[in-house]
Structure 1
Amino acid sequence: MNNSIVLMGCKHCGKTTQGKLLAKKLGVDFIDTDDEIGRIRGIDFRTLYKTKGVAEFTLAEEEACRSIMKEFGNSQIVVSTGGGICDNPPALQALRDCGTFVFLKLDIKHSVSRIMAKIQQTETGSFINAPAYVLNENPTSLSQIQDILMKKYRDRYQQYQAIADVVVDIKNAPIEENFRTLIDALDIK
């Protein structure tokens, strides 16, 4: 254990934003697992998921976590994970010896509304900007997408609560306010 901090949580909870601020405050490196996937595979993580599917993405995420630990395992770092890492036990295990798992818990309704604000339905009935895991369920309306997201996030929140060493309630508030909440929860001076 090297006192690193691994930030987890659903999409749009602030893992990358808060992670960069935290790394700066601690004077350590910041690593995003999604960026590491791109570095290793030579393809953006979203494109990998869409073109190669869940199984290949899951394997790439595990490889990224192992790579991070190989390179930084003896150093304190701050890691931001992908929103679905809770569904990838080998990737989590690769990071487990890293340090503290922190769940950034943003209200589910707010998380879903952030995603829904970017999704559009075309005249042909297809969807733009919807997460691939949602499209895999073949929704036919925006309300179905919202229902899929709500269920997925409820399930993930339970998983993250079980995995996390620390749970931080993130608010729909300025970044600085949430950063103070994170710092307080981690007892960092």
Structure 2
Amino acid sequence: MTEGIHNSIVLMGCKHCGKSTQGKLLAQKLGVDFIDTDDEIGRIRGVDFRTLYKTKGVSEFVQAEEEACSSIIKKYTDRQVVIATGGGICDNPPALHALRECGTFVFLKLDIKYSIKRIMDKIEENPLGGFTNAPAYVMDENPTSLKQIEDILLKKYTDRYQQYQSIADVVVDIKNAPIEENLKALLGALSIK
């Protein structure tokens, strides 16, 4: 691949699909920098992206995500990079617009049921009826049971999968398999040897 941000790769997909893991491996293979938009949000705002979302809300998070994407474009304009996005960037058209000049949008498509299982395995119900380790966007809907959380995740992920399918240049089926096997699938989909 030639140099420049226009020849970069933007990895997208829902939580736990492997964007950061595969992104770091892909960047290493290509000999380029790896950037995570969530880390860039933290650098710009001085607080990690989860805390920003919880304390400042959706609109502030969306603005920070757009700023992070624009910052990445400016900072790396003269070189190729691999970028991992946040799981909900499909709901942020200005951020997507900023990243569109990077080059290839890649949707890492992990089976929805497996994605949800990975999230549900970490969620715990406390004695007072609250939940720990549930994504903030799920808790925004005030679920009262683990089943409701699962239903919210299923609807959200079904919608997001459709969004990612429509904006992606490349779709890679990610399996519940060793990291190396998924990297081979990613490299093959991008025609990288």
Q: TM-score, normalised by structure 2?
A: 0.97
Instruction: Tell me which of 172, 175, 180 is aligned to 2:176.
Output: 172
**Structure 2 SS opposite 1:31:** strand
**Structure 2 SS opposite 1:2:** helix
**2:24 matches 1:35:** no
**Structure 1 SS opposite 2:6:** coil
**Structure 2 SS opposite 1:139:** coil
Structure 1: 5+ residue runs without aligned partners? none
2:189 is matched with: 185
Q: How many residues align?
A: 189
Q: How does 1:39-50 map to 2 (within 5 A)?
A: 39-50=43-54
Percent of pairs with identical residues: 77
Structure 2: 5+ residue runs without aligned partners? none
CA distance in 2, matches of 1:98, 1:73: 9
CA distance in 2, matches of 1:74, 1:152: 36
Amino acid at match of 2:107: F
1:159: Cα distance to partner? 0.1
1:2: Cα distance to partner? 2.0
1:123: Cα distance to partner? 0.3
CA distance in 1, matches of 2:186, 2:77: 23
**2:148 matches 1:120:** no
2:71 is matched with: 67
1:74: Cα distance to partner? 2.0
1:73: Cα distance to partner? 1.8
**2:94 matches 1:90:** yes
Amino acid at match of 1:7: L
Moved over 4 A (4+): none
CA distance in 1, matches of 2:72, 2:179: 26
CA distance in 1, matches of 2:103, 2:36: 15
CA distance in 2, matches of 1:73, 1:117: 40
1:56 is matched with: 60
1:4 is matched with: 8
CA distance in 2, matches of 1:162, 1:141: 32
CA distance in 1, matches of 2:142, 2:78: 44
CA distance in 1, matches of 2:79, 2:61: 26
1:62: Cα distance to partner? 0.1
1:157: Cα distance to partner? 0.1
1:109 is matched with: 113
Q: Deviations over 1:44-67 (max 9, x none)?
A: 000000000000000000000000
1:136 is matched with: 140
2:163 is matched with: 159
